[in-house]
Each structure stands twice: as C-alpha cells, then as structure tokens.
Amino acid sequence: MQARDAPFVAPLLLALASLRRKDILADIFEIQAFNFRESMKLAQRAVFLGLTVSALVQYVSMNRDVEELPTLPFIGVSFTTVDSLQIALMVLYVGAGLVACFSAHRALDVLRSIPDDNVAMVLARFPSVIATGLVYSLPLVGALIGSGILLGMNIFEGLSLSGFIGYSLIFAPFQLTLQMGGRIHKIQKG
C-alpha cells in the first residue's frame, strides 16, 4: 500500500468494522431471543408438570383409602402408604416449581438485557401460559397454590406455625414464577 492510498483505506476499514459490529449485534439479539423462548418453554413445561402433580394431589386427598397405590414406571418403586406417595408428590411439585421459577427468572433477565425496547416488547409476546393477563393467571394461581397448600396440610398435619412455614416453602416457587410472568406480561404492553 502506498501513501496516497491511506485516505481511502481508513474509511474502508471503519466501514468493514461497522458491518462486523452489526453482524455481532444481530447474532447477540438472535441468541437472546433463543434463550428467552427456551426459558419460557421450560417454565411452561414445569408449570404443566406442577398442574399434573396438583391433579394427583387432589385425587389422593379425596381418596385416602386407596387399596392399591401406584408404582413408579421404569424404576419399579412401589409406594406402601399414602404418606409416602404424598411426600414423593411434594418433592416432584417443589422440583417443578423450582425449575419453573428459575426458567421464568432467566426469561425475565434475558428480556431486560435487550437494549431495544421494541424488540423486547415483541419478544415478550411469545405465547406462554406463564406471561398472561389476570383472567388466565388467576385460575392457574388457584390450581397451583391451592394444591400446594392442600399438599402441605396433608403432610404437615393441619394448621400450625411449622405447617404454615411448610406451606409457604412448598408453593413459593410457583408464586414467584407467576409473579415474574406478570412482569413479562407488563413488558408486552410497553
């Protein structure tokens, strides 16, 4: 390169660097959108698992005198008492709640990290039962939290301070999940 080419090379290098930066930003937005969608999908799956466990909790609570208790498929573990089944359901319920809470929190963090508010608003409209309005979230809250309280009452033997603390720990992850979903829903509206 000769000295007379220097004035033309500098702007060309700047233009190339600018194009590269736009490509990098586009890649970052694409990764953020992917991470948000996957987090929302995982949170929704965990909520559906929580609803399934809630239905089982309701069934077991209404039918305490079951003659034959279920066996876990694939591993062949049989439950010997209703109490052991309820503890297993509690572990599954709390685990699903923790996964849902983590995923909803991750989705909210990703959404907040997007610098363009319009992109974040459009991305927040991803269809999910987690980020819905009051009409859809109230029955979900009732089913998830109500079953958590019922499960806690069955395990912690009624109303007491330790029972109240136990209930709170059992349904808190789903409560936090739905609160974060509400924040995502607010971002949808701008």
Q: What is the mean pLDDT of residues 36-58?
A: 90
Higher pLDDT among residues 6 and 85, named by residue: 85
pLDDT at residue 77 is higher than 60? yes
Q: How far apart are CA 104 and CA 34, in angstroms?
A: 14
pLDDT at residue 8 is higher than 60? no
Q: How far apart are CA 137 and CA 126, in angstroms?
A: 16
Provide the residue type at 25 as one letter: L
Provide the residue type at 175 as one letter: Q
Q: How far apart are CA 61 and CA 85, in angstroms?
A: 11
Which pLDDT does position 1 carry in this prediction? 47
Q: How far apart are CA 119 and CA 147, in angstroms?
A: 37
Q: Determine the 3-state secondary structure of 78 from DSSP.
A: strand
Higher pLDDT among residues 118 and 147, named by residue: 118
Which pLDDT does position 13 carry in this prediction? 56
Q: What is the pLDDT of residues 98-115, one digit of tens each?
A: 999 999 999 999 999 988
Which pLDDT does position 180 carry in this prediction? 92
Instruction: Give the residue among 138, 100, 114 at the shortest CA–CA distance from 26.
Output: 114
Q: Determine the 3-state secondary structure of 128 from DSSP.
A: coil
Q: How far apart are CA 10 and CA 15, in angstroms?
A: 9
| CA end-to-end span of the chain | 52
**Residue recorded with tokens 């439950």:** 79
